[in-house]
Amino acid sequence: MRGVSLVLILLAFTRIAVAGEQRTFLGFRLLDLENQSVKWQSPRWGERAAVTYAFATHASSTEGARNCAKMLPPEAAYAPSHISRTAFRREVAAAFRMWETVADITFREIDSAKAANILIGAQGEPIGRAFTNVALKPATADGRKVIARSLICLNPRQPWKIGFDGNLGVYDLRYTIAHEIGHAIGLDHPSASGQLMSYRYDERQKGLQPGDIKGAALLYGARSGTKRFAGSGIATGSSHAAAIKGASGWPFGIGEGGERAGAR
């Protein structure tokens, strides 16, 4: 039932967007886990957070995780596509930077997969393209829960690439990981397309879109000294845009709107 209602909500949003009323279409949607929005460290909107991340170093299982319950080191996903470790890490760092430059949240890589707030790896049980699992801490005295740990996992049986080429059957790593980071910090899918957090993969725009930026800034505060929307959503060239015209893109996970973050 939840899947059905989610699709209906997405359709409603799309209608509003089609009407062209930016003021009524927020362009973002907060994750709703256990009937509350969730974020790192402080449950209060607009308060900053400092988050660590690491790469899985061995096969591991997370009991109770809805997504990414079994994880492998990320090499399992990118190496078959002839992507080097250096290139993969550069793309991941760039994906984190996208969010850092617009909201008051920082990400620091650490070595310990066990201690990291966000763990990145490949799926032990391949499904869809990429998933995120968001687990919450127990409620504090005021009943609020903050994020305890997020897992991001890529399907090792799917091909991956770096950069856009118009082939929507192969997902760009930076775009995909930036989308999954959005889930890992508390954002859900606002719509089918138009924002980085929209649930369809397409190559119409690189980087965060106005709705993505608004959502992240609402949760963690706007990054001071950063011009809003500055250079974050530069469209690709017209020949490239023509090449993908009419392509609707594929969802990140499985089924329309089926890919979502899960809470324990």
Contact 220, 104 (CB under 8 A): yes
For residues 198 and 228, which CB has a smaller minimum distance to Zn ion in the complex? 198
Q: Which of residues 244-263 bind Zn ion (CB under 5 A)?
A: 252, 259
**Shortest Å, Cβ 135 to Zn ion:** 17
13 is a site residue for Zn ion (CB under 5 A): no
For residues 96 and 252, which CB has a smaller minimum distance to Zn ion in the complex? 252
**Shortest Å, Cβ 27 to Zn ion:** 15
**Shortest Å, Cβ 160 to Zn ion:** 16
For residues 28 and 252, which CB has a smaller minimum distance to Zn ion in the complex? 252
**Shortest Å, Cβ 90 to Zn ion:** 22
Residues contacting residue 121 through CB under 8 Å, at least 6 positions apart: 55, 56, 60, 68, 71, 72, 73, 74, 76, 77, 151, 152, 153, 154
For residues 3 and 82, which CB has a smaller minimum distance to Zn ion in the complex? 3
**Shortest Å, Cβ 183 to Zn ion:** 6
Parallel, antiparallel or unpaired: strands 118-123 and 147-154: parallel
Task: Give the 3-state DSSP-derived string for 148-169, with helices as H, strands as E and coil as C.
Answer: EEEEEEECCCCCEECCCCCCCC
Question: Strands, E, within 117-199: which ranges?
Answer: 118-123, 130-136, 147-154, 160-161, 171-172, 187-188
User: In the complex, which residue's CB is closest to Zn ion?
Assistant: 252
175 is a site residue for Zn ion (CB under 5 A): no
Q: Supply 48's token pair.
A: 């900053």
* Length reported for the chain: 264
201 is a site residue for Zn ion (CB under 5 A): no
171 is a site residue for Zn ion (CB under 5 A): no
For residues 203 and 259, which CB has a smaller minimum distance to Zn ion in the complex? 259
For residues 221 and 249, which CB has a smaller minimum distance to Zn ion in the complex? 249
- Specify whether the backbone of 101 is left (phi greater than 0), alpha (psi in -120 to 50) or beta: alpha
Give the footprint of Zn ion on this chain (CB under 5 A).
252, 259
